[in-house]
Amino acid sequence: MRSTMVGLAAGVLFGVGLAVSGMTDPRVVLGFLDVRGDWNPALLFVLGGAVGITTLGYQAIFRRGRPFLTDCFSLPAKTVVDLRLVIGAVVFGVGWGLAGYCPGPALGALTAGNPGVVVFVGAMAAGVFLGKRL
Amino acid sequence: MVWLTALGGGVLIGAAAIMMMALLGRVVGISGIFAGLLTSSVDRGVGWRWAFLVGLILGPPLVGAFRGVEVIAAPVVSTPWMFLAGLLVGLGVTIGSGCTSGHGVCGLARFSRRSLVAVISFMASALVTVYVTRHGL
């Protein structure tokens, strides 16, 4: 129950952050990726702000040794850089560049009811199932 | 002043990531949370995943209601392209174990070498994709 409340609060915070930073507008994202066009640096500030504060916060939490509500950290176990990682990231980047949506902003845009966004999220789910089989 | 709201929004996203790590010891990867809901069994503590996703979906309209403006913009490409893009995003994040949040925010913040490689790879391919679709080869 406690973890559900934490999840909800963190999710709202994340969604609010996406909207405030302009990431729920694909033009902002594509404006950043289009270096030859009218370049929009916004995404750099979003990523910079997020990575900056998270790095500081993580340092403090890891120094403490354990999370407050559970016994241990559940961190990604893999450390080896392999071809699968690179291929997956490249494929993701193509999809991101085609429409200007990564998973967070796509889900965060669902309530506006745009058919394109709903189709994107449905196709993303299909892509997840396909990826699990590869 | 768009950089200021961009920075502020980024800090809020970071605050969500810090909260999840401090309280539950978990990274915030949207693709991982999404995939976890689709593919893992019900008994494996998925409550926080559902809750996070509900919060994430409700966050933007909350901002819109508070500011009195529509903050969610419409897609800029047609629905067939949205389908293809969504399929590639779902496929890519599953094979590459993460997206902009998991690798880009949380991975970089914990100095993960895998995440650094992933971020460079997806940034590069996204830049090339936008270049090709907007300016041709």
For A87-126, what is each residue's pLDDT tens digit?
Answer: 999 999 999 999 999 999 999 999 999 999 999 999 999 9
Instruction: Answer for the pair A107, B34: CB distance below 8 angstroms, yes or no.
Output: yes
* Alpha-carbon gap, residue A108 to A95, rounded angstroms: 17
- Nearest Cα residue in chain B from A32: B127
Average pLDDT of A38-46? Answer: 95
Interface test with B, best of A1, A23, A27, A46 (most B CBs within 10 A): A46
Residues B18-71 have pLDDT tens digits of 999 999 999 999 999 999 998 876 556 678 999 999 999 999 999 999 999 999
Q: A74: helix, coil or strand? A: strand
Q: Is residue A99 a contact partner of residue B95, using CB atoms and an 8 Å limit?
A: no
Q: Is the pLDDT of residue A5 over 60?
A: yes
The mean per-residue pLDDT over the stretch A51-56 comes to: 98
- Residue A1 is predicted with a pLDDT of 81
**Does residue B67 sit in helix, strand or coil?**
helix
| SS3 at position B26 | strand
Six-digit token pair at B70? 């529509």
| Average pLDDT of the segment spanning A30-55 | 96
Distance CA A17, CA A15 (A): 5
pLDDT at position B93 over 80: yes
ipTM associated with this complex: 0.97
Residues A11, B125: C-beta atoms closer than 8 Å: no
Residues of B in contact with A110 (CB under 8 A): 57
Whether B75 has a pLDDT exceeding 80, the answer reads yes
Mean pLDDT of chain B: 94
Mean pLDDT value of segment A18-25: 96
Q: Report chain A residues whose CB lies below 8 A from the CB of B81.
A: 98-99
Q: Is the pLDDT of residue A69 over 90?
A: yes
**Chain B hits for A45, Cβ within 8 Å:** 3, 6-7, 10
Question: Residues of B46-63 as b/e, b for ≥16 C-beta within 10 angstroms?
Answer: bebbbbbbbbbbbbbbbb
Residues in chain B within 8 Å Cβ distance of A46: 6-7, 9-10, 13
At B43 the pLDDT is 54
The rounded distance, in Å, linking the Cα atoms of B82 and B78 is 6
Give the DSSP letter string of A21-51.
TTTTSHHHHHHHH-TTSS--THHHHHHHHHH
pLDDT given at position B41: 61
Question: Facing residues of B26 across strands?
Answer: A74
Give strand pairing partners of A74. B26
pLDDT at B137: 78
**Closest CA in chain A for residue B108:** A51
- Whole-model pTM: value is 0.96
Shortest Cα distance from A112 to chain B (angstroms)? Answer: 7
Nearest to A19 among B63, B78, B128 (CB): B63
Distance from CA of A28 to the nearest CA of B (A): 10
The pLDDT, as a whole number, for residue B42 is 56
